[in-house]
Amino acid sequence: MARETLNREQIVRAAIELLDAEGIDGLSMRKLGQKLGSAATAMYWHVGNKENLLVLAADEVWREITLPDVPTVGWRTAARELMYAARELCDRHRWLVRVITTYVGYSDGMASFQERAYETFEAAGFRDADLDWAVSTPFMFVTGLAFMTSTEAAEVKERASRDGAEQPEHEAAAVAQAQAIAAKYPRLAASGEAQARRGQSFGEQVEEVFAFGVETILDGLQARLTARSAAG
């Protein structure tokens, strides 16, 4: 595919496919050129450097989110939908959280999401600095959990939680070591035993943690609004 037949949209979509398959470290202009049947120099010509390409890719995937209509659904439902949508986006594109936290990944797509978050918590009654913190707190929870579950260590935990799952020797040794350390501490040991009795996979545990966290954050924000209203 010659350079003149390529366009930025094609390159960005191909980059997203490569990022989803191989992550940020697996993305290079050479690999992208091979995928598109073109020279690496054509990639640079259309999108600049790798960091700029990551910003373009992040912008594109942020646009996958359907933003809630705040006046129709109310602030709490809108906030919950935004948190789940952001979490699902980070699950689909596991490289995204690293772009957000490591690179200058700000774009119109992300700004549109944040604008709706500001509308949501403004509708709830937050103002000034409280509005900033009300927007930031759920987002930090979502990205923090996404970062934890997108790592290789999370994949090891997932495999370890499956009954009869075969693990490489070094992974099995790491899991056994972690279990031996936890066994020395009574509360950790009791928690591990309770989780084993529930028979949940690591992914199922994460789902419950996320749901608990979302409702706890929303409860806390609601309580803050209620307390401020009672005081004023």
What's the pLDDT tens digit per position in 19-66?
999 999 999 999 999 999 999 888 999 999 999 999 999 999 999 999
pLDDT one-digit tens code per residue, 89-99: 999 999 999 88
What's the CA gap between 114 and 132, in Å, rounded? 11
Using pLDDT thresholds of 50, 70 and 90, give the confidence band for residue 226.
very high
Q: In this predicted structure, what is the pLDDT of residue 3? A: 47
Torsion of the alpha carbons at 151, 157, 162 and 166, rounded to the nearest 10: 90
Q: What is the mean pLDDT of residues 106-135?
A: 95
Of residues 182 and 3, which shows the higher confidence score?
A: 182
What's the CA gap between 157 and 168, in Å, rounded? 13
DSSP 160-183: HHSTT----HHHHHHHHHHHHHHT
Q: By the 8 A CB rule, do 117 and 67 touch?
A: no
Q: In this predicted structure, what is the pLDDT of residue 154? A: 57
Query: In the predicted model, is pLDDT for residue 2 greater than 50?
Result: no
Q: What is the mean pLDDT of residues 179-195?
A: 86
What is the percent of the chain with per-residue pLDDT over 90, rounded to a whole number? 61
What's the CA gap between 228 and 184, in Å, rounded? 44
Query: In the predicted model, is pLDDT for residue 101 greater than 90?
Result: no
What's the CA gap between 7 and 43, in Å, rounded? 9
What's the CA gap between 158 and 98, in Å, rounded? 21
**SS3 call for 96:** helix
Query: In the predicted model, is pLDDT for residue 160 greater than 70?
Result: no
103: which DSSP letter? S
Q: Could you tell me how far CA 43 lies from the centroid of its own chain? A: 27
Q: In this predicted structure, what is the pLDDT of residue 194? A: 85
Query: In the predicted model, is pLDDT for residue 14 greater than 70?
Result: yes
Q: Which amino acid is at 179?
A: Q
Q: In this predicted structure, what is the pLDDT of residue 59? A: 94
Alpha-carbon distance values, 140 to 34, 86, 151, 226 (Å): 37, 11, 17, 23
Using pLDDT thresholds of 50, 70 and 90, give the confidence band for residue 169.
confident
Range with lowest mean pLDDT among 52-61, 136-145, 176-185: 176-185
pTM of the predicted model, to two decimals? 0.85
Q: What is the mean pLDDT of residues 137-166?
A: 73
What's the CA gap between 43 and 51, in Å, rounded? 12
Q: In this predicted structure, what is the pLDDT of residue 9? A: 94
Q: Tokens standing for 225?
A: 């609004």
